Amino acid sequence: MANQGPYKDFFDIKVAKRKVLKRKRNKSFWLLISFPLILFTGFVFLIETNKNTVILSLFGHLPYEEIDKNNLIEVQPGISVHEDMYNDLLAMQRDAERDGVFLVFLSGYRSIELQKEIFFYLKSIRNQIASERARVSAPPGFSEHSTGFAIDIGDATNRATDFEVEFENTRAFNWLETNAAKYHFRLSFDKDHQSVDYEPWHWRYEGSVEALRIFNSESELK
């Protein structure tokens, strides 16, 4: 889709000289005019000291910065993930295979620009308003995939369930439910999530300090 663009004099006036009678102001007067100033100063200080922890969400999605591409590593052709999760992700796939379960990776890192195309293109062809589309796809700048720590997983023996709720009925999902936490993965959007539809295929990594820092506020939207 094509991007859409965003739609003194000074006068020298002499000061008139006036005689002003000085009046004494009582304490109540000074308290009255200073109280709003104190409140305003305190409000500004509060915003200033907490500006790094303010959470702004859009349709139930938290904002995420895009990962530096130097920190990405290809886990399979066309799919890259954050280097911190690379080893654990492959170990999880390998161990699942030993149990006769074959995990396939569907989508990893997605740039904000790609997320923009996905969100607005699908919103348009499906005749959806933004809030409807946001239940199944994050707006650009609000997707966990932009961090490199999110991975969409399918069952290699049941590809008809890719990106479908029916994935929950596969051996792959059952194995992930039982074992994913051992490799520091957790389901991002479970059935209890209030703002985003259930996505049994979407998992995120929480096995590094960087990942925990990024996702430490997710509970605010539960």
Residues 98 and 198 in one domain: yes
Whether residue 182 is contained in a domain is answered as yes
Task: Give yes or no: residues 214 and 107 share one domain.
Answer: yes
Can you give the pLDDT at residue 60?
A: 67
One domain, residues 31 and 139: no
Distance, C-alpha 93 to centroid of its chain? 26
Q: What is the pLDDT of residues 154-192, one digit of tens each?
A: 999 999 999 999 999 999 999 999 999 999 999 998 888
Would residue 38 count as lying in a domain? Answer: yes
Paired strand residues for 150: 204
Query: What range does the domain containing 103 cover?
Result: 69-221
Its pTM stands at: 0.67
Domain count of the fold of the chain: 2
What is the predicted pLDDT for the residue at 194? 63
Query: Cα separation of 143 and 66, whole Å?
Result: 9
Q: Which residues contact 160 (CB under 8 A, 6 or more apart)?
A: 166
Q: Are residues 203 and 143 in the same domain?
A: yes
At residue 24, the pLDDT reads 53
pLDDT digits (tens, 9 = 90+) for 13-61: 343 343 444 555 555 555 555 545 544 444 444 344 344 444 577 766 7
Whether residue 13 is contained in a domain is answered as no
Can you tell me the distance from the alpha carbon of 159 to that of 167, in angstroms, rounded to the nearest whole number? 9
